[in-house]
Amino acid sequence: MNKRILVCGAGGFIGGHLVKRLNHEGYWVRGVDLKRNEFSASPADEFVVGDLREPDVVRDVLDDIDEVYQLAADMGGAGYIFTGEHDACVMHNSATINLNVLELGREAGVRKYFYSSSACIYPAYNQTDPDNPKCSEDSVYPAEPDSEYGWEKLFSERLYAAYSRNYGVEVHVARFHNIFGPEGAWCDGREKAPAAICRKVAQAYDGGEIEIWGDGKQTRSFLYIDECLEGVRRFMDSDFAGPVNIGSEEMVTINQLAEMAMEIAGKRQRIRHIDGPLGVRGRNSDNNLLRQKLGWAPSAPLRDGLEKTYRWIEEQVATSQPEIALSAKA
């Protein structure tokens, strides 16, 4: 427990929860991000507000560090990633961070890394059937990610593997599948489907209407933050480098996700389907390798996590938009 750990992206959703988990386990933790988490105070022993694209910042935060959890990235939900408007920034910013963290970490003597990759690296041609997507770890090549975000993640996976081969550093690469929960983006344009739908349901009155992009028949799986962190910690304590999926195998349509949120809210609402960025037609985590290597896989029902997330977002709506919250109850 005397290890000194750096969490990059500690001001973000997953990174913020990871700091809490590591702190609870008794590790000394330094967090770094462009900003602090806006929803709760970080329990990090030290928190640096800094830009990981800047080498001097990276050198400073890597000082006397044993392990790095690299979750910092320029990212967001479909409304941010799939419009094409942010592609250059997404690729440049995230790649620069990973190049800095690895090279300057090598110079600083860091010997162990966790890197958060994404299910967005999987080929679009394997995800055209919403009922039968293929997302096993060995299906990534021939490569055809559906976004520049996915291409950058795939490049960085190879970057971490190269540093492991050439410099002997220990790396663990996980491909996250739609992690969600409280204290994440919910109204700033970067929110993902569970948060966006919970917000829409919370803001609309009983008997009202919410909007869903596309026909709502596209499929996804969503993993609650607590199980994500359990997987990450088990993975880091193993001798397996990955890449490995960390996600849920409970696949639902976006329409079903919306209906579940309505049930939790106790509301009956109409769904209006509109044009919008969608991503692939179907995606679901394949956890066979995860079970084989770690003897564990996520098992909590989606509804359990969605209920906790909805209650938190409902509270945010009531606090930040009281006039909407009042009208939604009318």
Question: Contact at 8 Å (CB) between 247 and 161?
Answer: no
Q: How far apart are CA 238 and CA 6, in angstroms?
A: 19
Distances (CA, A) of 18 to 111, 144, 160, 225: 20, 30, 21, 9
DSSP 288-319: HHHHHHHS----S-HHHHHHHHHHHHHHHHHH
- Distance between first and last Cα of the chain: 52
DSSP 16-76: HHHHHHHHHHT-EEEEEESS--SSS----SEEEE--TTSHHHHHHHTTT-SEEEE---S--
Give 117's strand partners: 175
Pairing mode, strands 219-221 and 251-253: antiparallel
**Choice among 113, 122, 149, 160 that is catalytic:** 149
The single-letter code of the amino acid at 245 is N
* 149 part of the active site: yes
| Tokens 């896989």, residue located | 297
Q: How far apart are CA 146 and CA 278, in angstroms?
A: 10
Active site residues: 149
